Amino acid sequence: MKTYENLTTYNPGEIEGKWYSYWENQGYFHEEVDTNKEPFSIVLPPPNVTGMLHMGHALDNTLQDILIRFKRMQGYNVLWMPGTDHAGIATQIKVEEMLAKEEGKSRYDLGREKFVERVWEWKKEYGDTIVKQIRSLGASCDWSRERFTLDEGYYHAVREVFVSLYEKGLIYRGERIINWCPRCATALSDVEVEHEDEHGHLWHIKYPVKGEENRFVVVATTRPETMFGDVAVAVNPDDDRYKDLIGKTLILPFVNREIPVIADDYVDASFGTGCVKITPAHDPNDFEMGQRHNLESIVVMNNDATMNEGAGKFNGMTREEARKQVVAELKELGLLEKIDDHDHAVGHCSRCNTIIEPMVSKQWFVDMKPLAEPALKVVKDHEVEFVPERFTKTYVNWLENIRDWTISRQLWWGHRIPAWYCDDCGETIVSREDINECPHCHGHVTQDPDVLDTWFSSGLWPFATMGWPEQTPELKQWYPTSVLVTGYDIIFFWVARMIFMALEFEHEIPFKHVFIHGLVRDSQGRKMSKSLGNGINPLEVIDQYGADALRFTLVTGNTPGNDMRFYMERVEANRNFANKIWNASKFVLMNLTNYDESFVPTADDLTLADQWIVQKYNETVQSVTSNLDKFELGEAASSVYDFIWNTYCDWYIELAKPRLYNDGNERDRRTVQYLLVTILRHMLELLHPFMPFVTEHIWQHLPHEGDSIVVTKWPEALKFDNLEGAARQMEVMMDAIKGIRNMRAEMNVPLGKKAEVIVAPTDEALAQTVADHSDYFVTLAWAEKVTILGSDDPKPENATVTVVNGMEVYLLLKDLIDGEKERERIAKEKIQMEKEISRLEGKLSNQGFLAKAPEAVVAKEKEKLEEYKQKQQALLEREAFLETL
């Protein structure tokens, strides 16, 4: 007979690196295209090359890995495509900071070509950090197919998309209002701007009416420093207060430029004074109004948010300095009527948190309306489904109100825009290939200096990573992908863009499901951030508790779409769960002497406990599988946890022990060995997607077929006849055993002291079950003997009783407890209870406390009082019961 090596002490640090290397070396994460298998594919949301693993990544990658491992075990042709994003702004800023710190140089000192070379050097040295960190989580990506948004093949895909959209008239260059970051010195798209509520003011400024002495129009503005770019004042055409002013001219203070009063329905007559200054070059709504009324756009700031010559004597001041000075001088001139407090949302750059400046600028744009319509349709028609479904509304609302997308960025790191301008004839040439001269006049050409928005290139991720525009075997097999797993915070940034890009260029959706998760917050529910200092490094958690414990914490604390609070106590509890499995497995391995791998029991060999464990196991397989299919990953994990801890470890192993040690019945011993091993192995397989390392290590020690749990077959139900009803019978027995344990605990019966148990079942079948399995009470409830009462037998007196579904269970306690000691203990507890009750009653009758304390505090104190009164009553009842013994 084969012997089986037992486990040592559970130490996740010792096993995790070993098994990950083994999986990679064996090539388990890589699959070739196999058209005979059903495909399942996920593209990893590419982290920034500047990134370090944080809890958001850990959650996102864990959820994907669970789905991938599950489908791999189910026999699908699986692809999990990894990669990283060049992260234009973030990476350029990091390298610029490094240059300034180490060499005292700026990118301009190096020049474009040398600077880009330095960024590539930085990427080679530091850009793989996050990829290594993702591996430590156990992510089973196909690293042999890893992509980068600036690699050569991806470069061709990006250029093909840009040129094709340009040829269709969907990409254009023009002067429009954009979001400008003075710190990053680049344009930003709307979704790269984060709005924060800030306390501000509403300044009421008097603009003189031309030709009418002492008549003014008062405008209310939050940004007096932009008034130098005013080209009109607008009023609502139905506002009777100002009808006579429409068409008249005002004098703009400081610059004395004449500006008209115009009428526009957009103006809200109830806000401020009902008069709105129109600054098309520095406000998106004003820009739209300016377009409607053919107004000029006057830019009054430089790219660094200092005032330009258009601001007259305020030229060169920062916008903040100009605001203070303008307000002070308006006051001196008698043109400041009043200042109101006013809270409003202010846009900040999502990268550096600088206040953005809306500014008219010549940029490249994507015409979004034609692209948004089909992207809306596929979601409304349920071709692409959001999980949870409520996020559909977020997606639809954004696309229905979308503006044209600014895609040019004033950076050097990224996909350079493939547009050239002829210095001689002024022609603009957009080309798939680099050009050296103008195709029209053969004159000298200069390439556009800007690069594309990072989200433009990452919007192609599902198909460009698979070799598009070539129709590769990978693209044919794994596209569209099966599911996208991502946070709700990038539905606009990324999800919508992938959908409209895929429909435009592959004429097919990029994924069937969008599985949305929430954010990982700290234990107080706050967003993790550097400023709060409440971030938790996943790598430190892995070092302390292991990746399995972290993964299980993230998935069981996660309801699709909702934020989760992260508690270190839960990580510790899940490490204890791994330890529980480890110790249970050690017990099983220790009891495999003379184990016969060829032995399979029949239905007749199974005891009630065997039938019950098989039935519960089969239910768990069904529950875990169906919940994983529905993206209810937390529910699936909870099902397998409950089965392993409560059903297998706490009950079945204890029931199995006497049979393992009984040499008199070899077939019975082999039956219980078979079930212990088979169910443990399949439990590990069910748990493997969630906790890959500990499950592989234990699985390798157990009798098994195949080389790794990674590629073993997903568990199925065990086929035995006559299992019906076993669970109900066993659960009644278990309830009775729990009742006896509770009675013993309440009466402080010392462990090891056995008591007589008397059972009064309500029907003959149950009586027979108890008779056949009375040994369960002996093994698990320390019963000295078990007596079954018939329907006419008198009930015992002077016994404590519990009622469970189908029977009354009596425990005879005489001589098992020291009555005198128990009375002394109860007397002490009663004194303590009386003190607490008196204290709380005094507190709750104190009118001062009731008046000042919050409602929740008062309710809590009332709850405590009720709890102590219940404990007091229980002590009185126990005291009375002791008198009967």
* pLDDT (tens digit per residue) in 384-401: 999 999 999 999 998 998
Tally Cβ neighbours within 10 Å of residue 845: 9
Return the bridge partners of 559, or none.
Answer: none
Residue 789 to residue 768: CA distance in whole angstroms: 12
At the topology level, CATH places domain 543-711 in Isoleucyl-tRNA Synthetase; Domain 1 (1.10.730)
pLDDT class of 625 with cuts at 50, 70, 90: very high
Task: Of 16-30, 204-218, 753-767, give the lowest mean pLDDT range.
Answer: 753-767
Tell me: pLDDT of 870 over 80.
Answer: no
Place of tokens 């192995």: 681
**C-alpha dihedral over 155, 156, 161, 163, to 10 degrees?**
110
For residue range 389-444, what is the model confidence (pLDDT) as tens digits?
999 999 999 899 888 999 999 999 999 999 999 999 989 999 999 999 999 999 99
Domain spanning 726-812, CATH architecture: 2-Layer Sandwich (3.30)
Q: Do 838 and 831 touch, CB atoms closer than 8 A?
A: no
Q: CB neighbours of 597 closer than 8 A, spacing ≥ 6?
A: 2, 703
Beta bridge partners of 385: 513
Angle at 354 between CA 353 and CA 358, to 5 degrees: 120
More confident: 873 or 280: 280
pLDDT of residue 205: 94
Q: Where are the domains of the chain?
A: 28-158+459-517, 186-358, 543-711, 726-812, 820-884
Cα 101 off chain centre by: 35
**690: CB partners within 8 A, 6+ apart:** 66, 548, 551, 552, 555, 636, 637, 640
| Distance separating alpha carbons of residues 703 and 2, to the nearest angstrom | 10
Q: Which helix (H) or strand (E) holds 738?
A: helix 726-746
Nearest in space to 16 (alpha carbons), one of 142, 139, 138, 143 = 138
C-alpha to C-alpha distance for 690 and 698, rounded to whole angstroms: 15
**Topology of 820-884 in CATH?**
Helix Hairpins (1.10.287)
List, for residues 364-380, the tens digit of each pLDDT value: 999 999 999 999 999 99
**Where residue 253 falls among pLDDT bands split at 50, 70, 90?**
very high
Query: Is residue 30 pLDDT above 60, yes or no?
Result: yes
pLDDT for the residue 877: 65
Distance linking the first and last C-alpha atoms of the chain: 56
Beta bridge partners of 84: 148
> Helices marked H in 29-87 — which ranges?
55-73
- Measured CA to CA in angstroms, residue 666 lies from 233, 586, 588, 720 at distances of 98, 22, 17, 20
Closest CA to 81 of 485, 398, 357: 485
Closest by Cα among 417, 303, 418, 407 to 360: 303
Phi, psi values for residue 656, rounded to 5°: -80, -25
A 10 A CB-CB count for 531 gives 8
Whole-model pTM: value is 0.84
Amino acid (one-letter) located at 455: W
- CATH number belonging to domain 186-358: 3.90.740.10
- pLDDT of 186: 87
Mean pLDDT lowest for which of 284-288, 475-479, 619-623, 729-733? 729-733
Question: At residue 596, what are phi and psi to the nearest 5 degrees?
Answer: -105, 105
Residue with tokens 């109101």: 340
Is 530 annotated in some ligand binding site?
Answer: yes
Helix and strand counts by DSSP (H, E) for the chain: 29, 29
Residues 877, 319: Cα–Cα separation, whole Å: 78
CATH number of 28-158+459-517: 3.40.50.620
Contact 548, 590 (CB under 8 A): no
The pLDDT score that the predictor gives to residue 195 is 83
For 95-184, list the strands marked E by DSSP. 147-148, 171-181
> Two tokens at 414?
């990224």
Highest mean pLDDT, choosing among 150-154, 844-848, 876-880: 150-154
